[in-house]
Structure 1
Amino acid sequence: MPPNSLQSILDHSKLELTTAPILYRCEPIWSWKVESLSDHAILLILDGRGKLTVDDQQIDLRQGLCFFLKPGSKIEAQQNPSYPLFLFLAQFQNLDTSQEDAERVGQNFESLFIRNVRNLEPLAELVASRQPHDTLFEDAIKMLVRIIVSEATHHSGNFDSRTYEALYAIENDLARKWTVADLASEAEMTAGSFARSFKRMMNEPPIHYVIRRRMEEAKRQIQQSSLPIEEIAINLGYDDLTFFRELFTSRLGQSPESLRLGRTL
């Protein structure tokens, strides 16, 4: 869905935070209920699962989903305790907005799926660290909204809840030797239908995604841990260290060893 309301905010409005933004790993009993939302809100799901009800319309909460909620909406949200939510929530007013824009912005809530939601986490952390009247807040929140709009325009996927089950399975077992048939089974789809749906959602074939995520995780562990590179490779499903090293180098442009030597300690 085109983010018309968010784009309108960027073009015509000044944002004023009304409560402290939240970056929150939810407790098992977490829930959120508002009879009438007093301000605009952005709800970004960074991880986990749950349910969101907006004016009697129920939506599944999944990693990568972002919601722009309008004032006056009745909101109820719960998480699945087995998959705790990690979310970002910011509530704000729009200032310097014409009546026409205000009416258009407030018509409906918007939702979109962002493939690379991990890229937004550092900026969400920055926004959440600002105080309500901090002069840096407006720049930070506006930058976050701008990136969400950009992601929605250029990098958003066609969310499919069945395909997401396979995506979630990958993220929770990167080392498994996944096949398209295995992933299609997780999604309860035929292999052909699943492969097409996954590519529409993630803009790459499923096995390409598995390899890319393994390399990203390998890079993270090499930079942030002291685990031997061979152990990192084995933990990510690569028993052949030579093959792992060649794949890593071809994907990231440097060997695992050179990355480790060059990291900031």
Structure 2
Amino acid sequence: MEPGHGRFTRGVALLSQPLTLTRLSAPTFWRCEPNWSWVSVELTDHLLWCVLDGRGQLELDGNHQDLSPGVCAVFQPGDAPLATHDPHRRLLVFGMHFETSQYGVAPQPRWGEVMDRELLKALARTSDSSYRRGDALGQRQAELCLEQLIALIWDAVQQPSRRVTDAAVDEVARQLRQDPGRDWSVAEMADRAALSRAQFTRRFVKQFGMSPAQYLIQARIDRAHQLLTESGMTVTQTATALGYTDVPYFSRQYKQRTGRTPSQEH
């Protein structure tokens, strides 16, 4: 077994269950002052710490990490992190303290780079605004945001080699699923991911196990099933909506992937 693998497996198992919190502090945003530095005493609770803007350096137990947007950490009791930043590119940090009876919430290493910056910002904003409402539902929403943020950090620790280009390919795949009836070309997909056609196709196959063209067909069939079973649209209407000019061809593709003909779905 690789070093740390057992602990990682236990951590993933832990995250598959709701986080048992005994205390959650108010979520906080802070733009660090120009002369700011952080020399923490040993923490007595857990701390979620996410960089949203700026540049700096973080250190824990002799391990160093450059700080930039997307770098997030979960510290545990006993940790004593150190940090500095560039006063001309001041850090904007989101964080909250929390206590839990569960062991192994913090990953090792403590930090990872979350590639989906928009999701990170949205979760931070939602956590903050929900908590400050002061009601039970707001408290629960803040807790759910914390759980999601911790899961994102664990995922980033698990996949440290994941790059911006991987996120770009993910986004293209998401767009295919959202609008499968569009007349997509591989050239357009590659352009949206800022890659050559060859680079895009290689990365797409690596991430999804099939070519962009096959992925698009599957997205169309998935949407067709939804339209046929939920919308009341006819087979011809469904085929046309999803970009098929040949209804029999659509029916063959549908049956190949579902084992049923489109007419059987009505």
| TM-score calculated relative to the size of structure 1 | 0.51
Q: Is the 8 A contact 1:248 1:254 kept in 2?
A: yes
The one-letter amino acid paired with 1:215 is: I
Matches within 5 A, 1:1-265: 7-8=10-11, 10=13, 15-17=19-21, 34-35=29-30, 52-53=52-53, 56-59=67-70, 70=74, 75-76=93-94, 93-97=99-103, 101=104, 107-109=110-112, 111=114, 160=165, 161-164=167-170, 166-260=172-266
Q: Is the 8 A contact 2:74 2:110 kept in 1?
A: yes
- Distance in 2 separating the partners of 1:76 and 1:238: 48
CA change 1:105–1:187 in 2 (3 A) is closer
Using CA pairs under 8 Å that are at least 6 residues apart, name the structure with larger relative contact order, 1 or 2: 1
2:180 aligned counterpart, secondary structure = coil
C-alpha deviation, 1:178, in angstroms: 2.4
The one-letter amino acid paired with 1:70 is: V
The one-letter amino acid paired with 1:243 is: Y
**Corresponding residue for residue 78 of structure 2:** none
- Distance in 2 separating the partners of 1:76 and 1:189: 32
> Aligned Cα RMSD in Å?
5.2
Q: Which whole-Å deviations, capped at 9, do the CAs of 1:101-133 have from their partners, x for residues lacking one?
A: 5665572146489xxxxxxxxxxxxxxxx9799
Q: Which whole-Å deviations, capped at 9, do the CAs of 1:167-218 have from their partners, x for residues lacking one?
A: 3542453222323223223323221111111112222211111111111111
1:34 aligned counterpart, secondary structure = strand
Q: Is the 8 A contact 2:30 2:92 kept in 1?
A: yes
Percent of aligned pairs with the same amino acid: 17
- Distance in 2 separating the partners of 1:14 and 1:104: 17
- Distance in 2 separating the partners of 1:92 and 1:218: 45
Q: Is the 8 A contact 1:8 1:105 kept in 2?
A: no
Find the structure with the greater CA-based Rg: 2
The one-letter amino acid paired with 1:57 is: S
Which ranges in structure 2 are unaligned for 5 or more consecutive residues? 32-44, 57-66, 76-80, 82-90, 117-135
Q: Is the 8 A contact 1:222 1:229 kept in 2?
A: yes
- Distance in 2 separating the partners of 1:35 and 1:246: 57
Q: Is the 8 A contact 1:230 1:241 kept in 2?
A: yes
C-alpha deviation, 1:158, in angstroms: 6.8
CA change 1:229–1:188 in 2 (3 A) is same
Q: Is the 8 A contact 1:3 1:149 kept in 2?
A: no
- Distance in 2 separating the partners of 1:133 and 1:68: 22
C-alpha deviation, 1:256, in angstroms: 1.8
Matched residue pairs, number?
Answer: 192
- Please say which of residues 206-215 and 165-174 is displaced more in the overlay: 165-174
